[in-house]
Structure 1
């Protein structure tokens, strides 16, 4: 009995030594090693009618395997997935699932979980507003733009659409001489938000600016020589036509000349003077007038040249 036990013990010891020797040789010749890979993260089970944000493009994994296996692997041998099955609107944390080849243990996934934001895709009707760029040809003005259709349907995440109340398009009217009609693209400017239809037709009427006759105001600076006074001021023509938008014309009462210096003069002044274009006006016709400034000596009370009656001075 003791001989049999001794034989069995020797066999067990021999097996253990063989196993230890195999482990030793394996670890020496083909040691287990760690490796880190950066692999793309793909989505699966994406629900229709939802948009999901916050998903990283890549994840990092640390794996363990014998050197003989590791040396044959690349990042394309691993798969990282994020299942969106059963997802609802709002923030939620999902686990990253990694698949590795046989004989490879996944030690770590960075990140192990991903916090995503899901939002339902909805539709909303919003008006389109036209913004005009530039100015038509001189003497013309653009009218109110007419859009067809005036309303478009936008599609996108519900939280984003809550902030969209209208969309704008731009039409360039620079140099236009007649009514413009343009087909323009409706751009939302927000990724994931689209407009339907994607184009609208914009019609911009171009009409003549209103005109109004306004009196000429002669601007004088300085004073005549001692003993002389201004006894009359006149302009020819006495009124000119101003072209401007209605709101500009409404606030105008006269058109002024460039300043005429009469410092130290002793005789009448006659000259051509340029008119100042009022702020906001497009044109003044004519753009200059002939003025006459009458000068009188106080001692005689008579004009210094032709003796004509003086106009009431206007400054």
Structure 2
């Protein structure tokens, strides 16, 4: 039986081979007509793999275009996320590199064209550096109050990021706005890295990025000019009467908290005693200054005029 089967296979073998070839060609023709190959272009991001830790990576090419070919049936179900463009940075350190782009495409697809074959890559160390904290105050407290002190909970913070940016930072700045505040307060303030030119650099990390700041308010200081009122007491000897009292200067400047100065209209002198006086004269007398109030004039001259009855 094996002999008969072998004879059956060998009978008209050339014709059978030609028939098989013709069938394959026909199948290919039919498939090409029914499911022809088509082209498409996909734009995909360049992905980084095996990047070492502690570096900031920048690239001159962020995405590439892939032109591919595949049967229409495969192309109909394909999506952009099925195609990948990657660069491998394993083993690289700080510096500039030219990295070859490797592509990943689905089975059954043929890559015809890639917009960029290589990417220029720059790797820069990420560092941290301590900078002082500076808090600016805007607005005004309540009338009669001034800002005594502004105290952040920390005097220094760390700025973290690419080396060239971190090395340009001179301070971490925050801002507090006053609005008729009457008492001390503490608030949370956001900090921003600032370079030597006063520019805010936002693509850096400030650690911590926020902190408590305490604002202490004190009575506001001011100046004003007030009249001087001489004070006399006692009784003149028999046969004499008071002809008049003068003071020089008649006005003086005083300084102190504005809330204290607001109620002061004039200053009195220490009392001048008339007891036993029979002749007019001048006395240097100290001013009576309220607590917390000062004056460049510690004493004034009080003139006493005495007449006989």
- The equivalent residue for 2:208 is 197
**2:167 alignment partner, one of 157, 162, 183:** 162
Could you tell me how far apart the structure 1 residues matched to 2:205 and 2:53 are?
17
Check the 8 A contact 1:40/1:59 in 2, yes or no: yes
Larger Rg: 2
Map 1:255-294 onto structure 2 (within 5 A).
none
3-state SS of 1:138 partner = coil
Quote how far apart the aligned CAs of 1:15 are.
7.0
**Pair 1:212–1:69, CA change in 2 (3 A):** closer
- The equivalent residue for 2:77 is 72
Quote how far apart the aligned CAs of 1:33 are.
1.7
Quote how far apart the aligned CAs of 1:206 are.
1.7
1:45-90 CA distances to partner (integer Å, 9 max, x unpaired)? Answer: 1211011123755432110122233233222322222222123223
- Paired residues, what number? 226
**2:117 alignment partner, one of 112, 121, 146:** 112
**Pair 1:151–1:66, CA change in 2 (3 A):** same
Could you tell me how far apart the structure 2 residues matched to 1:175 and 1:162 are?
39
TM-score of the two chains, using structure 1 as the length reference: 0.59
- The equivalent residue for 1:59 is 64
**1:206 alignment partner, one of 217, 229, 241:** 217
Could you tell me how far apart the structure 2 residues matched to 1:30 and 1:285 are?
96
3-state SS of 1:160 partner = helix
Could you tell me how far apart the structure 2 residues matched to 1:191 and 1:135 are?
28
Map 1:229-240 onto structure 2 (within 5 A).
none
**Pair 1:191–1:205, CA change in 2 (3 A):** closer
CA RMSD of aligned residues (A): 3.7
Map 1:1-315 onto structure 2 (within 5 A).
21-54=26-59, 58-188=63-193, 190-214=201-225
3-state SS of 2:103 partner = strand
Query: Relative to structure 2, which stretch is displaced further, 74-83 or 117-126?
Result: 74-83
Query: Relative to structure 2, which stretch is displaced further, 130-139 or 56-65?
Result: 56-65
Point out the structure with the larger strand share: 2
Could you tell me how far apart the structure 1 residues matched to 2:213 and 2:87 are?
46
Structure 2: 5+ residue stretches without partners: 1-11, 194-199, 228-249, 266-309
Could you tell me how far apart the structure 2 residues matched to 1:68 and 1:139 are?
82
Could you tell me how far apart the structure 2 residues matched to 1:64 and 1:120 are?
41
Quote how far apart the aligned CAs of 1:11 are.
8.2
**Pair 1:191–1:139, CA change in 2 (3 A):** closer
TM-score of the two chains, using structure 2 as the length reference: 0.60
Structure 1: 5+ residue stretches without partners: 1-6, 217-236, 245-280, 289-315
1:221-267 CA distances to partner (integer Å, 9 max, x unpaired)? Answer: xxxxxxxxxxxxxxxx96676889xxxxxxxxxxxxxxxxxxxxxxx
Check the 8 A contact 2:46/2:86 in 1, yes or no: yes
